[in-house]
Amino acid sequence: MTPKMIRIDRITLREIRLRLREPFRISSGVVDERRILLLEIRDASGITEWSECVAGELPNYSPETIDTAWLAIREWLAPRLLGKSVGVPPDGVYEILDRHVSGHQMAKAALEMGCWGIAARLRQTSLSATIGGERDRVATGISLGIQRDPASLVQRALAAHANGYRKIKVKIQPGADIEFVRAVRDALPKDADLMADANSAYVLEDAGHLAELDAFGLIMIEQPLHRDDLVRHAALQRRLRTPICLDESITDVARCEDMISLGSGKVVNIKPGRVGGFSVARRIHDVCMRNGIPVWCGGMLESGIGRAYNVALASLPNFVLPGDLSPSARYWERDIVTPEWTMDADGMVAVPRNEVGIGITVDRGRVDELTVRREDLIAPSQA
Ligand code: OSB
Ligand code: MG
């Protein structure tokens, strides 16, 4: 019988350092070594599950960082869960965390998703099945950082295409855009799906310049303008043939509804970590599905733990475009999970639907070696 409640009695926060195989540059910054916040959550029944907070090192992609997330979890969010009972499935956890705490979506998501991981274990089923996923494999794309010249980007794009990736995304910024995309477009086969991600590097006055990208048949351009610029994105979309996809802007269900009613974009990148976890991610997924908006699962250079949650999410039905769900070896010399995430020659990643829980085993010894900071948060009755 499935226990009806989760009661969390301990949350262990850890910071690990994990060096990327090569630095990853986007318009707003570069990272070569990830500082990753991992959570290990223990239920009173004795089971534990890991989750990952996607907050970065610097507040460039969003206002959150690993340090603000650590603070928010310790001070305001974890105390709301520790020692309390929440239902299975843990659909109400987001509301518990969100009440009178604005922002800190990545911090909330790490806790909320961890509860879904625990729920899957209690139900003795996979994370994918627990959230209503259907696919047993998901299509994968690659996100290529900004390179020093078009030739270096072309070389990486060709290698990615040869490896089987189903979508190639190139990061752009003013000064590294039209010529870079043109070079990749010319080098790739005509039918290869190509897109660009600006991470908010442009303003509406750049519309004429961005319209030059229309010549390349991109499947979309991701987040050209500032996160708060839904109205300007709508004006830009009216001037572009290329569909706009929003990432940073879609922080909750209402923003997604606004995007649709304003016409600010035609595609949504859903990152569960950005929107406060699975329950909001699923609601955004459902709103998009009802409105004929295709979605795909973005990535935040997660370790194999965060990837497990993203892959489970991408198994929902309206994830019809390849996600940024690259295999472990694209990011790391060695991941922190067993088995590592792999991709087949058709660019597909298997969803571990036959495993209980998140579907991979965390290499605890390796996590210990990589840990630079640790804090145990304990339910009051146990403290
Ligand atoms: O905009 O999608 C983004 C990485 C860090 C911050 C923002 C973004 C990204 C990526 C990486 O594109 C995608 C991946 O994890 O492979
Ligand atoms: Mg993006």
Tens digits of per-residue pLDDT, 101-135?
999 999 999 999 999 999 999 999 999 999 999 99
Torsion of CA 129, 280, 306, 49, to 10 degrees: -60
Known catalytic residue at 271: yes
Residue of 57, 247, 300, 328 to mutate, ligand 1, most atoms within 8 A of C-beta: 300
Q: How far is the CA of 365 from the centre of ligand 2 (A)?
A: 33
Other C-beta atoms closer than 10 Å to the C-beta of 206 total 16
- β strands within 174-222, DSSP E: 194-197, 220-222
> Does residue 143 have its Cβ closer than 6 Å to ligand 1?
yes
> Could you report the per-residue pLDDT of 288-313, keeping only the tens digit for each?
999 999 999 999 999 999 999 999 99
Other C-beta atoms closer than 10 Å to the C-beta of 358 total 31
What's the CA gap between 71 and 368, in Å, rounded?
Answer: 21
> Does residue 298 have its Cβ closer than 6 Å to ligand 1?
yes
> Does residue 309 have its Cβ closer than 6 Å to ligand 1?
no
Work out the pLDDT band at 1, boundaries 50, 70, 90: low
Nearest CA residue ID for atom 8, ligand 1 = 300
Res. 383: pLDDT tops 90: no
Looking from the CA of residue 331, the nearest atom of ligand 1 is 16
Side-chain half-sphere exposure of 289, counting CA atoms within 13 A = 11
Residue of 25, 26, 302, 341 to mutate, ligand 1, most atoms within 8 A of C-beta: 26
What's the CA gap between 5 and 374, in Å, rounded?
Answer: 27
Model confidence, pTM:
0.97
> Could you report the per-residue pLDDT of 228-243, keeping only the tens digit for each?
999 999 999 999 999 9
> Does residue 324 have its Cβ closer than 6 Å to ligand 1?
yes
Strand partners for 53:
37
For residues 142 and 165, the answer to whether their CB atoms sit within 8 Å is yes
> What number is the average pLDDT over the span 38-56?
97
For residues 134 and 315, the answer to whether their CB atoms sit within 8 Å is yes
> Could you report the per-residue pLDDT of 183-234, keeping only the tens digit for each?
999 999 999 999 999 999 999 999 999 999 999 999 999 999 999 999 999 9
pLDDT at 82: 97
What's the CA gap between 158 and 24, in Å, rounded?
Answer: 18
Q: Which ligand approaches the C-alpha of residue 145 most closely?
A: 1
